[in-house]
Amino acid sequence: MNKQISIDLEIARLVQNVKTEVSPALDDRVREAAANLRQRQDRSVIHRFWYLALIPGAAAALLAAVLIGPAARPVPDSPISEIRTEFELVDKNIKVIFIQKPDFHLYEENIHE
């Protein structure tokens, strides 16, 4: 006889010898707990697919918030401070100076009308 088969038979014989009787009440409780566990696992599979369906919706909401958020922000009312910009065209002997005054209204169109 094969050595592996003889070891398997010996293990099976030892397991069968250790067998004890279980009370019917305990047996019923164990079977009921196993059935409840199976039902919970079935529900968790359904919930897992439900959460997967929410991912594209959450991504769309995040994208909308990122795109619409800056457009919905109010325009600041604070005036722009004076800005001085200058550059020089050396080969033409020209120096250009831009000065932006604080009364310049960047966000208001046609302020003098």
Say what the pTM is.
0.29
Q: Kindly provide the residue ranges of all beta strands, DSSP E only, lying in 1-113, ordered along the sequence.
A: 83-89, 94-100
The DSSP secondary-structure symbol of 81 reads: P
The whole-number pLDDT of residue 101 equals: 73
105 versus 26: the higher-pLDDT residue is 26
Whose tokens are 């009364």? That residue is 103
| Residues 17-75 pLDDT 10s | 776 777 888 888 888 888 888 777 666 666 667 677 788 888 999 998 888 887 777 76
The whole-number pLDDT of residue 31 equals: 85
111 versus 94: the higher-pLDDT residue is 94
